């Protein structure tokens, strides 16, 4: 395995806190040992950082595009980088991955400071945001992000051509850029990444998204996978975008389904290759703070009717003790949404959750409904933390924006294991209430986001 880390590379990496991320390579994980096994695979049209002509646009792909001037994705945004919209594996140095049905696969990428230097870009989600991975055997050369985000884990969402096969935090819990930040220095100690034969070395630990190849795919099939990183900025942080903005980065790849995978030494290595040989310990069970991609679309025409309307909402209480605060505004679009009236946004650290939360550009929508549910945790859950008297609350914010008055849409409630596992009430679970929301003119339910904090 080759590894080169020059002074120039170190300097460039240290200056990349504002750079972005894409899938560098894919590799199968041995389900028993957790070790990476077999050769590497790559995204369509992959260009390595050391290749002649490489630049930030070679594989980095942002939605909505900066040139669009939009802060929200819309129905015209193509999902894949221009070089990744077709089955582009012309460069034999970077083949598609080979995997068997049911394999675990690591999709590896550099964190570029988004994990270890979070203070450099305020208003971003915890854990670096969320990576969603979607799979299909019916890819389109003109795949739209708005269509793919509708796919669900059951394969029944949107046009039903594909399914969501992973939803995980961008931060895998161990990855780190080499920098002097507190998170990096701690992880350099707790999760050192050593070059083979150099026990005193410490190099950048790549992040990974771990996916389980569906067993429904058979030998001879080609599985197309879409890696979608959702990394928005919350409202009220940037003066230039007072209502927040969307930020998605995508990588599109293919996996060739085969009978077996050789465990021989990788052949198609990179010059700047992560020497790590083992996947994260929880590669079979990773979850995320957000388990589905909740989003809004900008109006495709660039404007939406500003006819004022009466807004309404209905809550069906969950099994937990719940109080609801509902507010509405018509005739004008606010500069930013309302949150809990007792703790107006932004109020970092004082009780209001920050992300995931998405809002439309100011002036785009004429009215909105904000529903705030404050769920008080049970005394049993508090006792598990060693305090029988302390009262903690878990607050859920669900905001629905509306632009018309078609029939109401039911947004079913659910119990989120990912949410509860991240809380002190991990053994009890938290039931999310059912919300009846007014859809927009296109018939979308308009559920913007859910965020949780203790």
Rounded Cα distance between 168 and 146, Å, is: 19
- pLDDT (tens digit per residue) in 258-284: 999 998 999 999 999 999 999 999 999
Residue 356: which of 446, 242, 444, 453 has the closest Cα?
453
How far is Cα of residue 443 from the mean position of the Cα atoms in its chain? 25
Rounded Cα distance between 174 and 244, Å, is: 29
Point out the residues of the chain with pLDDT beneath 50: 1-18, 300-454
* Residue 19 pLDDT: 59
Rounded Cα distance between 416 and 421, Å, is: 9
Residue 250: which of 84, 93, 367 has the closest Cα?
84
Residue 129: which of 24, 209, 201, 14 has the closest Cα?
209
Rounded Cα distance between 398 and 259, Å, is: 46
Quote the pTM value. Answer: 0.66
Rounded Cα distance between 240 and 247, Å, is: 15
The DSSP call for residue 72 is S
* Residue 14 pLDDT: 32
In this structure, are residues 265 and 204 in contact, taking their beta carbons and an 8 Å threshold? no
In this structure, are residues 443 and 347 in contact, taking their beta carbons and an 8 Å threshold? no
Rounded Cα distance between 297 and 442, Å, is: 10
Rounded Cα distance between 181 and 192, Å, is: 15
* SS3 category, 441: coil
Question: Concatenated DSSP letters for 131-184?
Answer: EEEEEESS--TT-BHHHHTT--TTS-STTSSEEEEEEEES--SS-B-SSSSHHH
In this structure, are residues 432 and 451 in contact, taking their beta carbons and an 8 Å threshold? no
Rounded Cα distance between 203 and 80, Å, is: 30
* Count of H-run helices and E-run strands, the chain: 5, 19
In this structure, are residues 127 and 286 in contact, taking their beta carbons and an 8 Å threshold? no
- Show me where the domains of the chain are located: 7-257, 314-453
* SS3 category, 130: strand
Question: Concatenated DSSP letters for 286-312?
Answer: ---S--S-------TTS----------
* Residue 199 pLDDT: 87
Residue 99: which of 153, 16, 26 has the closest Cα?
26
* Residue 238 pLDDT: 83
Residue 370: which of 268, 276, 289, 449 has the closest Cα?
449
In this structure, are residues 419 and 373 in contact, taking their beta carbons and an 8 Å threshold? no
Residue 92 class from Cβ within 10 Å (0-12 exposed, 13-18 middle, 19+ buried)? exposed
- Omega prior to 232 cis, within 30 of 0: no
- Omega prior to 346 cis, within 30 of 0: yes
* SS3 category, 229: strand
- Over its C-alpha atoms, the chain yields an Rg (Å, rounded) of 23
Q: Which helix (H) or strand (E) holds 257?
A: strand 248-257
Rounded Cα distance between 399 and 339, Å, is: 9
The runs of H, that is alpha helices, within 401-448 are 417-421
- Omega prior to 200 cis, within 30 of 0: no
* Residue 25 bridge partners (DSSP): 108
* Residue 299 pLDDT: 63
Q: Which helix (H) or strand (E) holds 325?
A: strand 321-329
């Amino acid at each position: 395995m080759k590894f080169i880390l020059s002074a120039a590379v170190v300097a460039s990496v240290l200056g990349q806190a504002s750079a972005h991320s894409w899938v560098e390579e894919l590799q199968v994980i041995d389900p028993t040992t957790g070790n990476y096994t077999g050769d590497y695979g790559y995204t369509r049209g992959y260009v390595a950082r050391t290749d002649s002509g490489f630049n930030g646009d070679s594989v980095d792909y942002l939605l909505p595009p900066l040139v669009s001037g939009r802060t929200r994705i819309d129905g015209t945004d193509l999902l894949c980088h221009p070089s990744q919209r077709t089955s582009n594996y012309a460069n034999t140095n970077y083949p598609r991955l080979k995997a068997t049905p049911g394999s675990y696969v690591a999709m590896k990428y550099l964190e570029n400071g988004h994990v270890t230097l979070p203070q450099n870009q305020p208003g971003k989600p915890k854990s670096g945001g969320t990576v969603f991975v979607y799979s299909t055997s019916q890819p389109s050369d003109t795949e739209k992000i708005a269509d793919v985000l509708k796919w669900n884990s059951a394969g029944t969402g949107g046009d039903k051509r594909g399914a969501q096969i992973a939803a995980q935090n961008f931060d895998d819990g161990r990855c780190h850029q080499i920098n002097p930040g507190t998170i990096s220095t701690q992880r350099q100690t707790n999760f050192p990444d050593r070059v083979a034969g150099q026990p005193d070395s410490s190099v950048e630990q790549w992040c990974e998204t771990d996916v389980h190849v569906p067993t429904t795919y058979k030998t001879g099939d080609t599985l197309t996978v879409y890696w979608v990183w959702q990394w928005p900025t919350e409202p009220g942080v940037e003066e230039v975008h007072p209502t927040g903005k969307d930020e998605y980065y995508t990588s599109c790849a293919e996996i060739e389904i085969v009978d077996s995978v050789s465990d021989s030494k990788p052949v198609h290595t990179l010059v700047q290759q992560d020497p790590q040989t083992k996947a994260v310990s929880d590669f079979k069970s990773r979850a995320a703070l957000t388990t589905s991609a909740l989003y809004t679309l900008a109006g495709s025409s660039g404007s939406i009717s500003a006819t004022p309307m009466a807004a309404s909402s209905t809550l069906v209480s969950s099994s937990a003790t719940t109080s609801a605060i509902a507010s509405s505004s018509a005739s004008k679009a606010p500069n930013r949404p309302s949150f809990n009236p007792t703790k107006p946004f932004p109020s970092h650290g004082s009780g209001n959750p920050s992300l995931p939360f998405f809002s439309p550009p100011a002036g785009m929508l004429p009215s909105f409904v904000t529903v705030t549910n404050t769920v008080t945790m049970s005394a049993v859950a508090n006792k598990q933390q060693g305090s029988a008297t302390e009262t903690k609350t878990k607050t859920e914010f669900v905001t629905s924006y509306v632009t018309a008055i078609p029939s109401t849409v039911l947004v079913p409630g659910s119990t989120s294991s990912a949410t509860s596992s991240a809380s002190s009430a991990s053994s009890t679970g938290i039931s999310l209430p059912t919300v009846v929301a007014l859809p927009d003119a296109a018939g979308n339910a308009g559920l913007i986001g859910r965020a949780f904090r203790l």
